[in-house]
Each structure stands twice: as structure tokens, then as C-alpha cells.
Amino acid sequence: MSKVLYPGTFNPIHNGHVDLVERASVLFDAVVLGIATSPHKSPGELELRVNLAKEALGHIKNVEVIGFNSLTVSFAKKIGATVILKGIRTVTDFDYEFQMLNMNRALEPDIETIFLAPSEENSYISSSLVRQIAGYGGDIAKFVHPAIEEALNTKKIV
């Protein structure tokens, strides 16, 4: 069984992330969206991000959402993932992710990394921009699942 790990902080998960998970779910038997802890957030905030991601991805049958607090390659090995999926929107993303790929390969040579680009209509969306727009009261409905929109608008996540 092929299993891929799509790691990140997903703060918040947005339609670009969902697009990549949908496409990965066709390529792999199992997809794990691994939500990493953030040093600036509380453990309860991680649980909220996990629950919101589960809601946003509930329509995809072969996806599991799990929070983690370890090196990504260690988590991948723990869950039996042989591939790490990374989303690439820009050349800047690629530069950073390629450096991470090489570091991960040095730590765990048996785990591969693949890159997917989001669909054109999602290529400009980022979590930080979504948070910024929501912080100023802007309309984020076309960028996120309704549960994430509500959480941002009611300041459950910031």
C-alpha cells in the first residue's frame, strides 16, 4: 500500500491545500495530512487545526489528518509513509523545499519527496494571506471551507 505524508502547519488549511490532497488521493492508496505543531501556538490550537482540516477534507475517503510534534521524516517513518508531498507555488517555495528535501534525504534516505503545484485557480492562495484578509474583515469564502471561514471570522484561530 502506498502512503504519502503531506506535512505542514496548515494555519489555516485552504482550498490550495485541499486541491493537492484531492489530487494526491488519486495517486496514492492513503494520504496523511500531518499538521505540525507551531512554537507560537497552544496545544489546543493544534487540535482545532486538526479538527478543521478533518472537516475540510471529509469528502475524501482515503485521507487521515494527524497532528504531530517531531521531525517530518521521523513522523513519516512512524506512520509508514514512503513519500512526502510538498506543494510548490513559486520559485521561492521550490528553493526552500529543495533544501528541505536534501536535508530529509540525508536523515532518511528511504523516504522520497515529490512536488505538486496547485491548480491555477488556487496558485496564489496562502495561509498567511487568508489570515491577513480575515483579520481586516475581508471576504475569504472563496479561499477556504465554510468551517475555516467561521473559525477565522470568530477569531477561534488567528
Dihedral sign of CA atoms 5, 52, 49, 127 in order? positive
Contact 24, 31 (CB under 8 A): yes
| The residue to which cell 529543495 is assigned | 98
In a domain, 150, yes or no: no
Taking the model in full, what pTM does it have? 0.93
Dihedral sign of CA atoms 128, 56, 116, 62 in order? positive
The pLDDT > 70 percentage for the chain reads 96
Range of the domain at 82: 3-124
Q: Confidence band (pLDDT; 50, 70, 90) for 42?
A: low
Q: Tens digits of per-residue pLDDT, 104-143?
A: 999 999 999 999 999 999 999 999 999 999 999 999 999 9
Specify the pLDDT at position 90. 87
In a domain, 142, yes or no: no
Whether pLDDT at 40 is above 90: no
CATH code, 81? 3.40.50.620
Q: What are phi and psi of 155, to 5 degrees?
A: 60, 25
In a domain, 97, yes or no: yes
What is the grid cell recorded at 39? 512554537
Query: Which of 1, 24, 14, 11 lies closest to 85 in space, CA to CA?
Result: 24
Q: Confidence band (pLDDT; 50, 70, 90) for 15?
A: very high
Q: Confidence band (pLDDT; 50, 70, 90) for 45?
A: confident
Q: Tens digits of per-residue pLDDT, 48-80?
A: 999 999 999 999 999 999 999 999 999 999 999
In a domain, 105, yes or no: yes
In a domain, 34, yes or no: yes
Please give the positions annotated as active site: 17, 41, 89, 127
Half-sphere exposure of 72 (CA within 13 A, CB side): 27
How many domains is the chain partitioned into structurally?
A: 1
Sequence letter at residue 114: I
Q: Confidence band (pLDDT; 50, 70, 90) for 157?
A: confident
Specify the pLDDT at position 156. 77
Q: What are phi and psi of 76, to 5 degrees?
A: -60, -45
In a domain, 23, yes or no: yes
